[in-house]
Structure 1
Amino acid sequence: MNYSAQELFEILNDQDECPWIEAKGGSDSSHSVMETVCAFANEPGLDGGYILMGVALDTTVLFPQYKIKGVNDPDKFQRDFATQCAGMFNLPIRPEVTVEKIHEKNVIKIWINELPARQKPAYFRADGLPIGALRRIGSTDQHCTDDDMHVFYQDTTSYDQTPVTGITMADVDENAIKRYRVLREKVNPSAEELTYDDAELLQALGCINREKPNELNVAGLLLFGKSITQRSTFPMLRVDYIRVPGNQWVSDPDDRFTTIDMRGPLLLVLYRLIDAINADLPKGFLLPDNDLQAESSGLPLKALREAIVNALMHRSYREHRPTQVIRYNNRIDIINPGFSLKSEEKLGQPGSETRNPFIAAVFHDTNLAETKGSGIRAMRRLMQAAHLVPPTFESSREHNEFTARLLLHHFLDEKDLDWLQQFEPLNLTDPQKQALIFVREVGAIDNQTYRQMADCDTLKASTDLRMLKSHNLFASKGKGKATYYISGPGLNTEATDGLSTEPTVVLSTQPPKISAPPHDLKDESDITDIEINTELSTPPLNLSTPPHDLSTPPPSILIDESLQKEIDILNRREHDSDKIKGIIKEICKDRYLSARQISGILNKGEDYIKRKYLSEMIKSKDLVYLHAEMINHPEQAYKTNEN
């Protein structure tokens, strides 16, 4: 359907930007506009998309909406834009450009056709592949990775089928083979592959190099290879279990984290990892009304299993860096190399997109993984049934990683009920109450996180969050898609500890009854063949640690005199990236600085510094985030990684 500029403008105000509409407020054909052109031309099955120039989101009003800014010189824009489309990419892209008027102002409507499959991918000549190509993911333009190249070049061979030269059957761990047979027999005692010898079994599972049957491929090495062989072949393909005191990454320099490095056959590492995490988890008890028998409560083991299995099954093994499982006082963060192949809007919906199909098949055969892409939905259901805040997920193409977050805070314990009483007159919904708990524990929340917790759409999430803001419980930061919320003046983030306190609002109505019964964890014992030690040798961790104060101003920026001299002699177009990275590490030593502050010190553009240096230094672990829980935090700050 051919839309007019007026119709596109109305769609923007009705549903915001979407996969096939992008609004640009500037009058110049900036690099951002050209990135959208590249993404529309590349995205398979999209058929193309519209760019509406001269339209911008007005965030100064209570309910942000798109308004017409207009294009001052439409003729000049069309000339420059057509020239860039013809010359910036590896092949010319021919846009359809028209000028229309809305509210007596010139607006430029651009239509970009999807390229034929044989011509994809289009990419910026100066950047090359894969980083120079972009895809349209949701309403964003994302730089491509090696995983995307298989989509464009129709390569049906997955990475887990890559041969590993010199690794033979002698490098197979017999215990891993036995574990597979035990698990498979419990699922299907009559499975034909159980009659095969070890070599035939690995061949049937797709773990053997087809060209040289005596050699293993990547799937065979990861699933069944000995630990010593994995270490000598892929030393960074391991799982790091990290215990961090407090709620922030190394918040206390005198109280360092501890790390357990795990490598070996995935079927065995899975058990070791779950056992290590479970031994650290606090164990609580619930005593229902009129009942003399207390029931244990805590993180459902099936939810933990799903999170760990998803990490091992879907991570990108092209990336030579470990999977990190970070245990904070109030949550577990599972950080995985490789972004989600499913868009974040579709997480939890039926259907699975598998990066490692042969590794996934083994987990499916042994009933360790969901078979229909329902693992995330199962995790949400289990967490909610246990009265815990639902898990949240973040997928970053920029950093090529995926984060699953499990909050360990029990949503309906006595302290929370006492704390939530002060908000009873507001008739908040359960998801809104969960959002209050989330902000109290993590420090901030955005639309995406709320959507995952409440299982709702963008509009519903925006409405609920704005309502909490209107009651001064939340304060908003950032603009447009980068908007997030922190605690407002009406939100007391301290737990009551069962003590009576004066409520912040006058009670006028009864609170909505939350009637869901506590989850019986005795049913969680069906985790196949996993022996868990449930006894605690230490008391449960204190989960009431207050969150980081997001409003604390940064320290004054004092620069050492010798370092200032180095900065002063920097050329405006300095090309020695190692030199600039070294300076950034020095100025961010022992303090958090924002990208704006860093760029101001270096006298360079903020976007340039973020794209060229900060993102790379985060990826290489030279810097750490202040707000690791929300990477796109508009007030994100950076500090030199002392480790």
Structure 2
Amino acid sequence: MKPVAFKNRYFKRIKNSNHLMSLDEIANEHLKTINSSWDFHIDDRHDFSDISQENIEKFIKKVEKNLSKSFSDDPMTILRKYELIKEDKLTFEAYLLFTSNNSPITSLQIGRFKDSVTIIDIIDINTNIFDQVELVLDGIRKHLMTEFIITGEAQRTVKYDYPLEAIREVVINMIVHRDYRDSGNSIIKIFDDRIEFFNPGKLYDDITVEKLQRGNYSSRIRNRAIANAFKEAGIIEKYGSGIQRIKNECKFHGVIGPTFEEFVHGFRVTLYKEKIKKKENEGVKQLFKLVQTQPNNRSTYFAQKLNTSVKNIERWLKQLKEENKIEFRGVPKTGGYWSVDE
């Protein structure tokens, strides 16, 4: 439902009540009516001396690689085609993508906390937003725990205590969807048991935390020009798929799912280190008792006794082995399962 003006005030209907709109909300609604977003518009505070030719060339190479084609035009013509330059002036998007200086507008802080007040390390990253992605990921990685997994291959597999792909997705979402008109910083806090990602700017348009959790929402993009540049460069794969990808990566990694919280001036995503607790179903309990009372038997025997499939038995045996409750003794043809305590 569109906003309604009354005595120089703008209201919009939310459920059963009228909501007085802020200046930002009014501006956003105006931009939507002209099918635009603020980052498409000219940035009068910055000019070409504030951006880097090297950063422009890096962007063009990323786009060429992602689209598998080469541009024949000169860089300035390419930027005009992508509407990064208008009326021979920079847009807000162009400044954020290609800035050559440390910019307070892009400032993103990473803090390693021992508790809520004790800071072990702090990093301030205020580069152009393209370089920021990998710099932020490097800053987070240095504070994560790792383990080496022997796979039989020549190289060992490194496993982090958090799902890196979920972290990457959160970081990209922070940078692309941040409200750069807000003076607040983006802040990442790394604790012993969790990582908190806070971004200035509430959820955009009619998206709510409840809709995010249910997956019942359509993609709404605050910074359409920035999102398009990230997509052209291959950093974003598909609009609106990030939240589900974060959830899937957490589940695949074996840790509990993320939480989403909205505040007056921002939005926070939290990833956790805590492992998913495996539910011990009744079949697993019965199988463990059977192994204890009738050891040195195999999956086919247990399947007959419990009147279930061999596939189910093998899955339950795997769980019991992972929990260090049972072990296989003897050679494959004649051995069987035993309780570890026996």
TM-score between both structures, scaled by the size of structure 2: 0.71
Post-superposition CA distance 1:570-590 (Å, at most 9, x none): xxxxxxxxxxxxxxxxxxxxx
Q: In the alignment, is the contact (CA less than 8 A) between 1:226 and 1:264 conserved in 2?
A: yes
Q: CA deviation at 1:175?
A: 3.3
Report the number of matched residues: 284
Q: CA deviation at 1:142?
A: 6.0
Instruction: Work out the percentage of aligned pairs sharing the same amino acid.
Output: 22
Match of 1:186 among 65, 76, 83: 65
C-alpha distance in structure 1 between counterparts of 2:318 and 2:56, whole Å: 46
Whether 2:10 is the aligned partner of 1:121: answer no
Helix, strand or coil: the match of 1:176?
Answer: helix
How do residues 533-612 of structure 1 correspond to structure 2 at under 5 angstroms?
none
Match of 2:257 among 386, 390, 393: 390
Stretches of structure 1 that go unaligned for 5 or more consecutive residues are 1-43, 45-116, 428-511, 517-643
Whether 2:5 is the aligned partner of 1:136: answer no
Partner residue in 1 for 2:136: 273
Match of 1:225 among 99, 102, 113: 99
C-alpha distance in structure 2 between counterparts of 1:256 and 1:297, whole Å: 25
Post-superposition CA distance 1:567-617 (Å, at most 9, x none): xxxxxxxxxxxxxxxxxxxxxxxxxxxxxxxxxxxxxxxxxxxxxxxxxxx
Helix, strand or coil: the match of 2:62?
Answer: helix
Post-superposition CA distance 1:23-56 (Å, at most 9, x none): xxxxxxxxxxxxxxxxxxxxx1xxxxxxxxxxxx
Partner residue in 2 for 1:245: 114
Q: In the alignment, is the contact (CA less than 8 A) between 1:349 and 1:377 conserved in 2?
A: no
Higher relative contact order (CA 8 A, sep 6+): 2
Q: In the alignment, is the contact (CA less than 8 A) between 2:257 and 2:271 conserved in 1?
A: yes
Partner residue in 1 for 2:312: none
Task: Give the AA of the match of 1:183.
Answer: K
Match of 2:41 among 150, 153, 162: 162
Post-superposition CA distance 1:82-135 (Å, at most 9, x none): xxxxxxxxxxxxxxxxxxxxxxxxxxxxxxxxxxx5xx3356x7xx757xx454
Whether 2:235 is the aligned partner of 1:368: answer yes
Q: In the alignment, is the contact (CA less than 8 A) between 1:303 and 1:378 conserved in 2?
A: yes
Task: Give the AA of the match of 2:140.
Answer: I
Change in Cα spacing, 1:409 to 1:218, as seen in structure 2 (3 Å) is same
Task: Give the AA of the match of 1:297.
Answer: K
C-alpha distance in structure 1 between counterparts of 2:20 and 2:202, whole Å: 12
Task: Give the AA of the match of 1:356.
Answer: N
Q: In the alignment, is the contact (CA less than 8 A) between 1:310 and 1:369 conserved in 2?
A: no
Change in Cα spacing, 1:146 to 1:206, as seen in structure 2 (3 Å) is farther
How do residues 134-533 of structure 1 correspond to structure 2 at under 5 angstroms?
134-136=12-14, 144-150=21-27, 152-153=29-30, 154-165=33-44, 167-190=46-69, 194-208=71-85, 210=86, 212-213=87-88, 215-228=89-102, 230=103, 235-246=104-115, 249-250=116-117, 255-285=118-148, 295-298=157-160, 299-341=162-204, 342-347=207-212, 348-349=215-216, 351-396=218-263, 399-411=264-276
Q: In the alignment, is the contact (CA less than 8 A) between 1:176 and 1:224 conserved in 2?
A: yes
Q: CA deviation at 1:227?
A: 1.9
Helix, strand or coil: the match of 2:124?
Answer: strand
Q: CA deviation at 1:243?
A: 1.5
C-alpha distance in structure 1 between counterparts of 2:217 and 2:27, whole Å: 23
Q: CA deviation at 1:169?
A: 2.4
C-alpha distance in structure 1 between counterparts of 2:12 and 2:148, whole Å: 50
How do residues 74-85 of structure 1 correspond to structure 2 at under 5 angstroms?
none
C-alpha distance in structure 1 between counterparts of 2:113 and 2:12, whole Å: 36
C-alpha distance in structure 1 between counterparts of 2:216 and 2:269, whole Å: 16
Q: In the alignment, is the contact (CA less than 8 A) between 2:112 and 2:190 conserved in 1?
A: yes
Change in Cα spacing, 1:121 to 1:302, as seen in structure 2 (3 Å) is same
Q: CA deviation at 1:392?
A: 1.8
Stretches of structure 2 that go unaligned for 5 or more consecutive residues are 285-314, 320-342
Helix, strand or coil: the match of 1:304?
Answer: helix
Q: In the alignment, is the contact (CA less than 8 A) between 2:106 and 2:129 conserved in 1?
A: no
C-alpha distance in structure 1 between counterparts of 2:57 and 2:317, whole Å: 47
C-alpha distance in structure 2 between counterparts of 1:514 and 1:385, whole Å: 21
Q: CA deviation at 1:361?
A: 0.4
C-alpha distance in structure 2 between counterparts of 1:371 and 1:410, whole Å: 29
Q: CA deviation at 1:284?
A: 3.1
Change in Cα spacing, 1:400 to 1:200, as seen in structure 2 (3 Å) is same
Q: CA deviation at 1:340?
A: 1.3
Q: CA deviation at 1:410?
A: 3.4
Helix, strand or coil: the match of 2:69?
Answer: coil
Q: CA deviation at 1:161?
A: 2.2
C-alpha distance in structure 2 between counterparts of 1:170 and 1:189, whole Å: 31
Q: CA deviation at 1:272?
A: 0.6
C-alpha distance in structure 1 between counterparts of 2:25 and 2:101, whole Å: 30
Helix, strand or coil: the match of 1:167?
Answer: coil
C-alpha distance in structure 1 between counterparts of 2:63 and 2:122, whole Å: 32
Q: CA deviation at 1:309?
A: 0.6
RMSD: 3.5
Change in Cα spacing, 1:513 to 1:294, as seen in structure 2 (3 Å) is farther
C-alpha distance in structure 2 between counterparts of 1:281 and 1:367, whole Å: 26
Post-superposition CA distance 1:217-254 (Å, at most 9, x none): 211111111124x3xxxx344111111113xx21xxxx
Change in Cα spacing, 1:170 to 1:196, as seen in structure 2 (3 Å) is farther
Task: Give the AA of the match of 1:346.
Answer: K
Helix, strand or coil: the match of 2:168?
Answer: helix
The range that moved more, 345-354 or 312-321, is: 345-354
Q: CA deviation at 1:377?
A: 0.6
Q: CA deviation at 1:295?
A: 4.9
Q: CA deviation at 1:277?
A: 0.5
C-alpha distance in structure 1 between counterparts of 2:318 and 2:78, whole Å: 50
